[in-house]
Amino acid sequence: MQVKLELFGYPTETPPINLWTQFRLLHHPTCKNNTLKRSILIIVKTAPERIENREAIRSTFGFSLENNYLTAGYSFRIVFVLGKPVDFIMDNLELENKKYGDLLIGDFTDNYYNNTFKFIHSIGLAHNYCNNGTVPFVLLLDDDYILLPWNLAVEVERHVTYERLYMGWRYDGLPFRSRWSKFRISISEYPFNAYPPFITAGAVLLSEQTVNEFYIAIQHTEFFIFDDVYAGILSYSLAIQPQHNPNFPPFPHHVKSINWWKTLIAAHGYSPRLLISTFNELIKKEFNKN
């Protein structure tokens, strides 16, 4: 109800529990492609010390996107989202951002259990990218994923910006209660027996409409430690259905296997070296096809 009221310009009945002003940023990315209707913002979740992953992305699908190679008429912008370093020198990140202008650094300590802050900052950036309103589409991606931009463009072409799009690899899961599990959640933290359906955090495709609704819902939804489950909680509260797409597998996909690369959009499990070699093979296949 609070989201509907705010979407239509009415005051909410209860005050927000999260204010966007509390999610401070230390560094913003530079503005590119912020006035184009046929544009896709890609926000890559990374960590301060994972510079090799960022460089591999910049030299592969990042290079393809920034130079509009095989992008079906869409303009792309890649941004990396991360928190403050613990064992990594902040000066190095500042130099990296000065060189590339593509880092979104939040004012929080970067660790696994703060990934939800990265998700929140990603929604904040997509909601008002470069003070020019919400982007038409946004893809949230992990830095160990491969991305095939031409297949992403084909998928986006099937949708409209006012669709309530929340797409990727859908997961229906249960909370882990074991004290030894990395994913442990106590009953006091989450008293229900099952999570709402959610899209695994490695690759999530959102429309402008969904970004706008998530942006408002975040203000009225308690923080949850796992970012993909948190997005699922938001979508459940908004009655947005997570759409499963098998072309976003959360496991490695090899170029020579069953020609799945023809429709594959993004896949998990790529080291910097494997990303570079695999993407170069795919580029050759794509150019030879044309």
Q: Which two tokens stand for residue 284?
A: 């050759």
Strands (E), 190-252: 198-207, 243-244
Rounded to two decimals, the pTM is 0.91
pLDDT, mean of each 10-residue run, the chain (290 residues): 58 74 90 74 97 97 80 87 86 93 96 95 94 91 96 95 98 83 83 94 97 96 95 97 96 67 92 94 70
How far from 51 is each of 85, 106, 171, CA to CA, in Å?
12, 17, 30
Burial group, residue 82, by CB count within 10 angstroms (0-12, 13-18, 19+): buried
* Cα 25 to Cα 84: distance, rounded to the nearest angstrom: 10
Per residue in 156-174, pLDDT tens? Answer: 999 999 999 999 999 998 8
Return the bridge partners of 41, or none: 77, 138
Q: Distance between CA 236 and CA 124 in Å, rounded?
A: 20
Give pLDDT tens digits for 4-27. Answer: 556 656 566 677 788 778 889 999
- Spell out the domains of the chain, with CATH numbers in brackets: 20-289 (3.90.550)
Nearest to 105 by CA among 165, 58, 45, 60: 45
Q: Take residue 70 and report the two structure tokens written for it.
A: 């095989």
